[in-house]
Amino acid sequence: MAAPVRTVVFPAAGLGTRILPATKAFPKELLPLVDRPIVQYGVEEAVASGIRRVVLVTSPGNTMTGAHFAPHPALEAVLEERGKTESLAVVRALSALAEVTTVHQAQPLGLGHAVLMARPEVGDEPFAVVLPDDVIDADPPALRRMTDLFAAVGGPVLLVERVPREAVQRYGIIDAKALGQGVFEVRDLVEKPDPATAPSDLAIVGRYVLTPDVFDALERTGADAGGEIQLTDGLRRLLEHRPLHACELVGTRHDAGNRLGFLKASVYFALKRPDLAPQLRAFLTELD
Ligand code: G1P
């Protein structure tokens, strides 16, 4: 039987170039969608999927992302003194949500390199990777479906979604054999292919359940033309040694790492909030 997935890695050391200048000094993963930072959505998804050990991979100067999940005694004392019980509960729940540690990626050498930085924290057991930009609303949570499939197949599982042909060059794309019920066996995978030569329209969308042998595969993976070690290239190596599976997303995904995606995600999650939806809807209608 496959070992349980206890740890999730959040690569969050990117330069945030798609949403500058907001991210010039401020970590992209802390930009809020309504009132929660982007990364908190991913952590909540992991916790709802039974994974409570979180490893944040951030750039060295970033102390804020870890602090978001840590206790804040001074703030708690003030909220308590002022009788702000609801806010106090929210702040305390956040630091109790998960067991969060931070590791640093000194240089932005790619997603594969970021995952490698988490190796000492992960150890020799299976783990998940969540790319915080991909914010997913799904019931059951996407990661939960993936860990269930991982338990069934006993090997790595990727999350995929069909994207328009012209968009394949923004994703890792798989070549796959459909096994039914949204499950695929991966035959090959390629990072950001040309639409003309892409093997399919099935894009990897920011969730992975991996086995620890991926670390050795990544160690042996060279940098691409842009000087980055790609996770997709590491997985391609892994595929030489063991089967990989993918499951298709059932739910709604937003790419909150670009301007339009960020705005859409903000409106989407605000419209799910009973305290905000009626007034926001009225406002949007007024604008029309
Ligand atoms: C990364 C991965 C890519 C994946 C994508 C999902 O690309 O390299 O394979 O499809 O995330 O969001 P990035 O968005 O960092 O360029």
Residue 205, Cβ density class (10 Å: 0-12 exposed, 13-18 middle, ≥19 buried): buried
Average the pLDDT over 1-23 and give the result: 89
pLDDT for residue 97: 96
Q: Residue 15: what pLDDT?
A: 80
Q: What's the pLDDT tens digit per position in 221-275? A: 988 988 999 999 999 999 999 999 999 999 999 999 999 999 999 999 999 999 9
Q: Is the pLDDT assigned to residue 14 strictly greater than 90?
A: no
The conformation of residue 4, written as its DSSP 8-state character, comes to P
Give me ligand 1 centre to Cα 172, in Å. Answer: 6
| Ligand 1: centre distance to CA 36 (Å) | 23
Write down the pLDDT at residue 56. Answer: 98
End-to-end CA distance of the chain: 55
Residue-wise pLDDT tens digits, 103-155: 999 998 999 999 999 999 999 999 999 999 999 999 999 999 999 999 999 99
CA atoms lying within 13 Å on the CB side of residue 81: 6
> Which residues form the pocket of ligand 1, taking CB atoms under 6 Å from any ligand atom?
111, 131, 134, 171-172, 191, 203-206, 230-232
Q: Is the peptide bond before 278 cis (omega within 30 degrees of 0)?
A: no
**Average pLDDT, integer, range 31-37:** 97
Instruction: Tell me the mean pLDDT in the region 70-76.
Output: 96
Residue 1 has pLDDT above 70, yes or no: no
Protein residue with least CA distance to atom 7, ligand 1: 171
- CA 165, 137, 131, 160 torsion-angle sign: negative
Which structure tokens are listed for 282? 């009225």
Cβ 134 vs Cβ 206: under 8 Å: yes
Atom of ligand 1 at shortest range from CA of 230: 8
State the distance from the centre of ligand 1 to the C-alpha of 191, rounded, in angstroms.
8
* CA 268 to centroid of ligand 1, rounded, Å: 22
Identify the pLDDT of residue 2.
77
H helical segments located in 97-227: 111-117, 119-122, 142-153, 213-219
Q: Which atom of ligand 1 is nearest to the CA of 232?
A: 9
pLDDT tops 90 at residue 16: no
Q: Minimal CA–CA distance to 130: which of 275, 8, 13?
A: 8
What is the 8-class DSSP label of residue 25?
S
Would the pLDDT of 283 be above 80?
Answer: yes
CA of 205 to the centre of ligand 1 (A): 7
With tokens 């794309």, the residue in question is: 173
Query: Average pLDDT for residues 1-6, to the nearest whole number?
Result: 85
The pLDDT of residue 46:
98
| Average pLDDT of every residue of the chain | 95
CA–CA–CA angle 156, 255, 96 (5° rounding): 70
Distances in Å between the alpha carbon of 228 and those of 128, 142, 163, 172?
A: 21, 27, 24, 14
What percentage of residues in the chain have a pLDDT greater than 70?
100
Helices assigned H by DSSP within the chain: 38-48, 64-68, 73-81, 85-96, 111-117, 119-122, 142-153, 213-219, 231-238, 259-270, 277-287
What predicted TM-score, i.e. pTM, was given to this entire model? 0.95
pLDDT of residue 190: 96
Ligand 1 test: best mutation among 23, 204, 208, 230, most atoms within 8 Å of CB?
204
